[in-house]
């Protein structure tokens, strides 16, 4: 099995495991975990009735979906890695995986209260609704296609939950402030020792010259004046780094899920720990 295929298999293996840990039947938390305390929150709605479990469970579901999206992008990146393609196509897929993973990472930050976590979800929902409304308007579609996911609908829901109005143009709710895309991904990559990845991968995604140049490499041929000739080529070091970043995009959220849900050793916590050890050993072995 060649180098690119080994990387592809490794990313696919991790994707399969993360997909399994986030499937509906596995999406449970242990008694005495931080999550079990959060769903038992005593927060009250504006009318004085209890919040119940739905707001915080919806936040967990948001993180679950974002993690699965990171898995999907990582699987797409694995296909391009296995095909031995140049860096830009791979890196653009991995950039999307990191963005998806950073959503779950931010939502599941340790130490938040149930109220703070729900505020973060509502900030993401409101921003999504705002951007979706622009798209709907630009294509001349009926705004009703958004259903309840409109800025007005989300603001009304927050009001009913007893939350104050959004501030800073919709980017702050109580003391929680929505991180911009770049800031949120960098929080993930910096903590996981993957500094600079998002900036590098944004170059090809935005067709910056530095990103375009990553498509090319010097070939063995030269022009008549003996100047080097550059053509699109695969970059083994870039493929390796992309595979590593894709796995971080998936495993970063998983580590926070396990902590919040109280997944134990022995049990799912042990499975996750063994996977991290396996990744580390394979990354060391495959390092070009």
Q: Is residue 223 part of a domain?
A: no
Q: Are 154 and 122 in contact (CB under 8 A)?
A: yes
Arithmetic mean of pLDDT, 52-69: 98
Residue owning tokens 């609704």: 129
Q: Is residue 256 part of a domain?
A: yes
Q: Is residue 129 part of a domain?
A: yes
Q: How many domains does the chain have?
A: 1
CA distances from 241 to 51, 93, 201, 265 (A): 44, 13, 11, 30
Q: Is residue 168 part of a domain?
A: yes
Arithmetic mean of pLDDT, 8-18: 98
Q: Is residue 21 part of a domain?
A: yes
Q: Is residue 41 part of a domain?
A: yes
Arithmetic mean of pLDDT, 86-103: 97
- Per the omega criterion (within 30 degrees of 0), is the bond before 74 cis? no
The per-residue pLDDT for range 179-222, each reduced to its tens digit, is: 999 999 999 999 999 999 999 999 999 999 999 999 999 876 66
Q: Are 250 and 73 in contact (CB under 8 A)?
A: no
Q: Is residue 57 part of a domain?
A: yes
Return all residues near 147 (Cβ < 8 A) that are at least 6 apart: none
Give the pLDDT of residue 223: 60
Whether the pLDDT of residue 119 is over 80: the answer is yes
Give the pLDDT of residue 201: 95
53 band by pLDDT with thresholds 50, 70 and 90: very high
280 band by pLDDT with thresholds 50, 70 and 90: very high
Q: Is residue 198 part of a domain?
A: yes
- The DSSP code sequence of 211-242 is HHHTTEEEEEEE-TT--EEEEE---HHHHHHH
User: Whole domain around residue 130: which residue ranges?
Assistant: 3-206+236-286
CA atoms of 107 and 193, how far apart (whole Å): 20
């Amino acid at each position: 099995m060649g180098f690119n295929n080994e990387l592809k298999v490794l990313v696919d293996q991790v994707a399969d495991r993360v997909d399994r840990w986030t499937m509906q039947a596995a999406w449970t938390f242990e008694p005495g975990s931080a999550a079990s305390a959060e769903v038992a929150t005593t927060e009250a709605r504006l009318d004085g009735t209890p919040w119940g479990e739905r707001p915080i469970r919806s936040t967990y579901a948001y993180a679950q979906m974002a993690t699965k999206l990171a898995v999907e992008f990582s699987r797409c990146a694995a296909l391009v890695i296995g095909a031995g393609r140049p860096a830009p196509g791979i890196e653009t897929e991995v950039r999307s995986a990191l963005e998806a993973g950073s959503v779950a990472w931010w939502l599941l930050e340790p130490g938040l209260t149930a109220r703070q976590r729900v505020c973060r979800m509502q900030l993401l929902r409101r921003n999504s609704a705002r951007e979706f409304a622009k798209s709907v308007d630009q294509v001349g579609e009926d705004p009703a296609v958004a259903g309840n996911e409109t800025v007005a609908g989300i603001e009304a829901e927050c009001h009913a939950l007893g939350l104050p109005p959004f501030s800073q143009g919709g980017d702050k709710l109580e003391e929680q402030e929505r991180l911009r895309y770049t800031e949120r991904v960098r929080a993930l990559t910096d903590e996981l020792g993957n500094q600079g990845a998002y900036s590098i991968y944004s170059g090809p995604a935005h067709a910056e010259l530095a990103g375009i140049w990553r498509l090319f490499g010097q070939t063995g041929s030269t022009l008549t004046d003996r100047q080097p000739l550059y053509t699109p080529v695969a970059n083994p070091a870039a493929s390796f780094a992309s595979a590593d970043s894709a796995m971080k995009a998936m495993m970063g959220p998983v580590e926070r899920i396990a902590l919040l849900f109280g997944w134990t050793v022995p049990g799912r916590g042990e499975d996750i720990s063994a996977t991290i050890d396996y990744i580390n050993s394979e990354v060391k072995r495959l390092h070009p």
